Amino acid sequence: MWLPPADDVLRVTLLGTGIPNAQVNAFGTSTLIEAGEERILIDCGRGAVIRLSQLGLGVGHVDRIFLSHYHSDHFTGLFDMAMTGTIRQNFGGRNGPLHVLGPPGIERIAEGAWIATAPDRDIRVADNEIDAEHMRIIPHEYAEGVVYDQGGLVIKAIKVDHGDFIDIAYGFRVEYAGRVFVHSHDTRYNENLIAQAHGADVFVHEVAAARQEIQDKMPAIKLVMEHHASPAEVGRVFAQTRPKLALLTHLVLLKPDPVSINEVMQELAAEYDGTVMVAEDLLSIEIGRNISVIPFHRGAKPDGGL
């Protein structure tokens, strides 16, 4: 059964650690932040609702979501959150609209979601099953800096570099009770991220790898690599920031002949001599007096589900 974290603990659960490719073991990027009474979702990729259910939590467990940028694997789960959350059962249970914060363009998503969800909403309202306004996404635009400060939880948006034509991508620094968690989200090697990631207890960074001969033959693969950080670059980021714990997520290991995890780690190790873990979906990290990393199969389970 889900239990709230202790008052002085920042709990981070990586609901999804995947990429746009559909993978049953790595859903789209989504991270649950729990601190005191605060419950925030950062990004809402494919399957976020399912991952919350696996934790024994309904959609109503969160009513505020931050989006890092507008690649599909970071917000396709948003429409499921909007619709499913209105249902007055344990798996839904959001008693109000869904507040979504994002870079410029968030209004378009809110407007589109209201149109796209109308057929479901009309049926359920006619059945007196839901309140129509609970399906509404309330958009809030943010820029770099502090984007949330309530209940002792402070979230700072960090502008990152996700490619020449993506000028509104952000990572996040999360602070609570003296604990610090940083998530790069999607980025190339980025000095601004490095500058704002110092002092992190836990630093989660994306990584991408493809063999040079594959990049030379396949322009599409080379294009993908130009939007992400290589293992060596991630190693340099960790070497300059020295987090207590470093993790890799959003592993873009491109076919054909994909680079192995072992090869990624070897390349990274040439630049960084600290501890590095590979993240997986539903991995829970509790940052308190120590840093506890709890895989889902070892953590608390729902007692009968939702």
User: What single string gives the DSSP state of each residue in 111-166?
Assistant: HHHHHHTHHHHHHHHHTT-S-GGGG-EEEEE--SEEEEEETTEEEEEEE----TT-
pLDDT tens profile 35-78: 999 999 999 999 999 999 999 999 999 989 999 999 999 999 99
Q: Taking 80 as the threshold, does the pLDDT of residue 305 lie above it? A: no
pLDDT at 304: 45
Q: What is the band of 83 on the pLDDT scale with cuts at 50, 70, 90?
A: very high
Phi then psi dihedrals of residue 84, to 5 deg: -65, -35
Question: Could you give the CA distance from residue 115 to residue 46 in angstroms, rounded to a whole number?
Answer: 20
What amino acid is encoded at 192 in this protein? N
Q: What is the band of 6 on the pLDDT scale with cuts at 50, 70, 90?
A: very high
Question: Could you give the CA distance from residue 192 to residue 195 in angstroms, rounded to a whole number?
Answer: 5
What amino acid is encoded at 61 in this protein? H
| Relative orientation angle of helices 231-241 and 261-269, to the nearest 10 degrees | 50
pLDDT at 302: 52
| Relative orientation angle of helices 106-116 and 118-126, to the nearest 10 degrees | 50
- Strand locations in the chain (E): 10-16, 30-35, 38-42, 64-66, 98-102, 137-141, 145-150, 153-159, 170-176, 179-183, 202-209, 245-253, 276-278, 283-287, 291-294
pLDDT tens profile 239-281: 999 999 999 999 999 889 999 999 999 999 999 999 999 999 9
Q: What is the band of 300 on the pLDDT scale with cuts at 50, 70, 90?
A: low
- Residue 270's CB is within 10 A of a number of other CB atoms, namely 11
Lowest mean pLDDT among 88-102, 267-281, 289-303: 289-303
pLDDT at 165: 83
Q: Taking 50 as the threshold, does the pLDDT of residue 195 lie above it? A: yes
Stretch 196-223: mean pLDDT: 95
Does residue 117 contact residue 81 with C-beta atoms inside 8 Å? no
Domains in the chain, please, with CATH? 10-298 (3.60.15.10)
Q: What is the pTM of this model?
A: 0.94
Query: How far is residue 130 from each of residues 79, 114, 119, 125, measured CA to CA in Å?
Result: 16, 15, 13, 5
- Residue 2's CB is within 10 A of a number of other CB atoms, namely 14
What amino acid is encoded at 97 in this protein? P
pLDDT tens profile 179-190: 999 999 999 999
Q: What is the band of 1 on the pLDDT scale with cuts at 50, 70, 90?
A: low
Question: Could you give the CA distance from residue 250 to residue 269 in angstroms, rounded to a whole number?
Answer: 18
pLDDT tens profile 123-181: 999 999 999 999 999 999 999 999 999 999 999 999 999 998 888 999 999 999 999 99
pLDDT at 211: 94
Stretch 17-33: mean pLDDT: 95
How do beta strands 10-16 and 291-294 pair?
unpaired
Q: Taking 90 as the threshold, does the pLDDT of residue 299 lie above it? A: no
